[in-house]
Amino acid sequence: MSVQARPVIWEVPKPILGRRSPLTVRYFMAADNPFQPEHFAREDEAGDDQFYSIPRIVAHIDDQAIAALSAFYARSLKPGGDVLDLMSSCISHLPEAPKLASVTGLGMNMVELEANPRLTARVVHDLNRDPCLPFADATFDACLIAVSVQYLIRPVEVFAEIGRVLKPGAPCIVSFSNRCFWTKAVAVWRALDDEGHCKLVDMYFRLAGRFDEPEVRDLSPAPGRTDPMFAVTARRAAVA
């Protein structure tokens, strides 16, 4: 069933400093966006180009979480596909198999992108300034966003663009942990717990209007002993 027929709308809590709460289902409504500008406010509102001008050649999750995400990619991606690694950096967390035809990395720092050996093409682009992706319709067989979705201030627009550049049936996999650059994460993300983060990403997919039913997976390798890891996946809806 296409989510356009019956999108789920969630009650979005007001961002309150220090409060981390779940996001709960309230009602169904056909065409409503519960977000307000304050949901996407950040402690550091300076330009992202300034913040990301310094290369960070580091891993943002621990080795166990990386292995769990890589294994999930191995099960989810098809051989020979063209993959978009969105909000990319020096690590794509991709497994050795399946072999992919191409991996295009779109990120904020060319030094980080050039340090990533899995990328076959590299694009510097600020999605918070311009959510339009510089690619043609139906270009990619999959899109990946790893541990970065919490920084989007126009997420529904970006997710709609992801749907545009994916081929029908192609998956978008959004993964995240509990780590972030706190001052650059949006307020609604900072206000939510892990369950709330999963439901928030689910909502982004639904409001974008281009995806089938999202699926939430808890990939955490050893809860309480390693970084948690979650993935929300949705496939590009078939074109009518």
In this structure, are strands 8-10 and 121-124 parallel, antiparallel, or unpaired? unpaired
Q: Which two three-digit tokens encode residue 155?
A: 């997420």
Distance CA 8, CA 207 (A): 8
Distance CA 61, CA 83 (A): 21
Distance CA 99, CA 80 (A): 6
* pLDDT mean over 1-27: 41
Q: How confident is the model at residue 32 (pLDDT cuts 50, 70, 90)?
A: low
Sequential DSSP letters for 77-104: PPTT-EEEEEEE-S-----S-S--SEEE
| Ordered structural domains, the chain, with CATH | 8-235 (3.40.50.150)
Q: How confident is the model at residue 12 (pLDDT cuts 50, 70, 90)?
A: very low
Kindly report the pTM of this predicted structure.
0.87
Q: What percent of the chain has pLDDT over 90?
A: 72
Adjacent-strand bridge partners of 220: none
∠ CA 215-145-159 to the nearest 5 degrees? Answer: 70
Phi, then psi, of 50 in degrees rounded to 5? -70, -45
Residues whose CB falls within 8 Å of the CB of residue 97, separated by 6 or more in sequence, listed in order: 74, 79
Q: Are 192 and 24 in contact (CB under 8 A)?
A: no
Q: At which residue do the structure tokens 């290369």 appear?
A: 55
Query: What are the helix and strand counts (H, E) for the chain?
Result: 6, 9
pLDDT at 6 over 70: no
* pLDDT mean over 100-115: 97
